[in-house]
Chains A and B, each alone.
Chain A
Amino acid sequence: MRKTTKLMTGIVAALAISAGGVMAGGHLNKIGERQKAMKAVGGGIKVLVGIAKGQTAFDPDVVKKAALTIKANLNATKSLFPEGTGPDSGVKTRAKDEIWLDMEGFQTAMKTAIAAADNMAGVTEQSAFMPALGKVGAGCKACHEKYRAPKQ
Chain B
Amino acid sequence: MKKKIAILVAALGIAGAVAFYFISGPNPLDETAISTQIASHKVDLKNGQILYNAGGCISCHRPAKGVKAQNLPSGGAVLKTPVGLFFPPNITPDEKTGIGRWSSLQFLNAMKRGLSPEGKHYFPAFPYTSYTHMSVGDLLDLQAYLNTLKPVDASENKKTSLFGEDLLRRGVGGWKWLGLQTNEFEPQPSQSAGWNRGAYLVTGPGHCSECHTPRNFLMVSDYSRILQGGPHPEGKGKVPSLVGLVKRKKFKDIEDLNSALRFGEIMGYEDISSGGMGEVQTNMSKLPDSDTRAIAEYILSFK
Residues on A lying within 8 angstroms of B by beta carbon are: 42, 45-46, 48-49, 52-53, 94, 133-134, 136-138, 140-141, 144-145, 148-152
Contact = CB atoms under 8 A, between A and B. Distances in A.
A138 B282 CA distance: 10
A150 B267 contact: no
B263 A94 contact: no
B237 A141 contact: no
Given A141-B264, A141-B265, A145-B273, 11 more contacts: A45-B265, A45-B270, A49-B268, A134-B266, A137-B265, A141-B266, A144-B270, A149-B275, A150-B239, A150-B240, A152-B239
Contacts of B240: 150-152
Contact of B278 (A53, A94, A141, A149): A141
A94 B274 contact: yes
B267 A144 contact: no
B238 to A, nearest CB: 4
A150 B274 contact: yes
A138 to B, nearest CB: 7
Interface of B: 229, 232, 237-240, 263-268, 270-271, 273-275, 277-279
A152 B229 CA distance: 10
A141 B264 CA distance: 8
Contact of A151 (B263, B274, B279): B274
A46 B268 CA distance: 6
Nearest to A144: B273
Question: Which of A52, A144, A149 has the most chain B CB atoms inside 10 A of its CB?
Answer: A144
Contacts of B278: 141, 144-145
A52 B271 CA distance: 19
A45 B270 CA distance: 10
Nearest to A38: B270
20 contacts: A45-B268, A48-B268, A49-B267, A133-B266, A137-B263, A137-B264, A137-B265, A137-B267, A140-B265, A141-B264, A141-B273, A144-B265, A145-B274, A148-B274, A149-B274, A150-B237, A150-B240, A150-B271, A152-B229, A152-B239
A18 B238 CA distance: 40
Considering residues B238, B263, B270, which has the most beta carbons from chain A within 10 angstroms of its beta carbon? B270
Contacts of B266: 133-134, 136-138, 141
B240 to A, nearest CB: 5
B68 to A, nearest CB: 18
- The residue in A137, A141, A150 that gathers the most chain B C-beta atoms within 10 A of its C-beta is A150
B165 to A, nearest CB: 27
A145 B237 contact: no
Nearest to A138: B266
B51 to A, nearest CB: 23
Contact of B237 (A42, A45, A152): A152
A94 B274 CA distance: 10
Contact of A148 (B232, B267, B273): B273
A149 B273 contact: no
Nearest to B236: A149
Nearest to B256: A53
Contacts of B270: 42, 45, 140, 144
B98 to A, nearest CB: 27
Contacts of B274: 94, 144-145, 148-151
Most chain A beta carbons < 10 A, residue from B240, B263, B265, B270: B265
Contacts of A49: 267-268
Given A144-B273, A144-B278, A149 B237 contact: yes
A137 B264 CA distance: 8
B172 to A, nearest CB: 28
